[in-house]
Amino acid sequence: MLYVVNGRIVAENEIFDGFIGIENGIIAEMAPGFPAFMPEESIDAEGRLVVPGFIDIHCHGGGGRLFSQDPGVALRAHRTRGTLGILPTIGYNMTMPEFLLAVSGIASMEENEILGINCEGPFINQEYGADTRYASDIEQGIYEDIYSAGKGRIRIWTFSPELEGADEFKAFLASKEEIIPCAGHTGCKADKLGGIRLVCHLFDAMGPKSRECAAIHENGTAEAVLADGNLYAEIIADSNGVHVPRELLVIAYKIMGDRLILISDAVSTPEAGVEGDLNYNEAGELSGSLLSVGRAVANMKRHTGIGWSGAVRMGSLNPARLLGIDSKTGSIKPGKKADIVIMDEEANVYEVISGGRRITDEKG
Ligand SMILES: [Zn+2]
């Protein structure tokens, strides 16, 4: 039995000073205080936070490389920062041959390395998002090619439901029960959200584009999502509240609660000594981030003042529930997979345990 002792254990609904026992890669026990006898193998958390491994459902890269370029480097960069479940995300900002190659490359990764693939496009509204020149109309031949390149491992597919052909595409996705239809880079309103389960980075790259009339608050995609009682939404919490200002983080959490999922939308991870977690493309447009989900959790907590359990759930249990894997992972609970991270309140990571195995020495 491997023990993690002297930690502030962030469980699903509470936080307490205690320990965790791990056996055969599974969380065997957790309790306040210390184990009754001194375990032969233990990790001292030194009073730091002990949280479940994070799950990132929207992540383009890490360690200076995109998943489409060098999946091993990107994967390690996020694992060493505490993200142990990941959906490498292929963006719309590439040509169709590149997109297909990227999807098939990710689809050939090991079963235990990734949870699947997130296709962010290419069927998005060109008016919403950075560098949308390769965005595509919805065409059956294209989505069938992408689907077969994905070898059944596409789990999220983001598109703009206002585009022509969206209803046929929705019907196609509905016939693939492993795929979660996601609305994003869109100006759609509530009438187009039928059949959608998830929304891509709430408030970012969505309508309304501008407030045309100062006298009224125009209704748009974000308002439709907030008013919907069932949708899940991704959200980006960066350190400065640039993607989503503090007030909107508070509003989203108050309304959506555990249907809110923190994502990195990372195109890389910060190098040591580099300030901030924002990324800009060559045109100077805000484009993805340099976040990890752990950092996003810490930012969300700092911006909104919510408790650790609620903030951590947004980076672990909520995405696990969306993906239907929450009975096996996503929180610190006896019987679940021992994916555990020891970190401080700024999300500096001290130890990562993946399936009961310490991986902190992996380079990333
Ligand atoms: Zn993205």
Q: How far is the CA of 121 from the centre of ligand 1 (A)?
A: 9
Count Cβ neighbours within 10 Å for each residue of 207-239 and write b for 16 or more, e otherwise: beeeeeeeeeeeebbbebbbebeebbbbbbbbb
Orientation angle between helical segments 166-174 and 140-149, nearest 10 degrees: 30
pLDDT band at 263 (very low <50, low <70, confident <90, very high): very high
pLDDT higher than threshold 60 for residue 79: yes
pLDDT higher than threshold 90 for residue 185: yes
Q: How far is the CA of 158 from the centre of ligand 1 (A)?
A: 10
For the chain, percent of residues with pLDDT exceeding 90? 83
Q: How far is the CA of 69 from the centre of ligand 1 (A)?
A: 15
Q: Tell me, what's the pLDDT at 275?
A: 66
Q: Tell me, what's the pLDDT at 283?
A: 81
Q: What is the CB-side half-sphere exposure of residue 126 using CA atoms within 13 A? A: 7
Average pLDDT of span 317-342? 98
What structural domains does the chain harbor? 2-50+331-358 (2.30.40.10), 54-323 (3.20.20.140)
Q: How far is the CA of 90 from the centre of ligand 1 (A)?
A: 8
Which comes out higher in pLDDT, residue 193 or 39? 193
pLDDT band at 363 (very low <50, low <70, confident <90, very high): low
As a whole number of angstroms, the distance between CA 102 and CA 188 comes to: 28
pLDDT tens-digit readout, 152-181: 999 999 999 999 999 999 999 999 999 999
Is 51 in contact with 329 (CB distance < 8 Å)?
A: no
Q: How far is the CA of 68 from the centre of ligand 1 (A)?
A: 13
pLDDT higher than threshold 90 for residue 218: no
Q: Residue 280 CB: number of other CB atoms within 10 A?
A: 11
pLDDT higher than threshold 80 for residue 271: no
pLDDT tens-digit readout, 313-325: 999 999 999 999 9
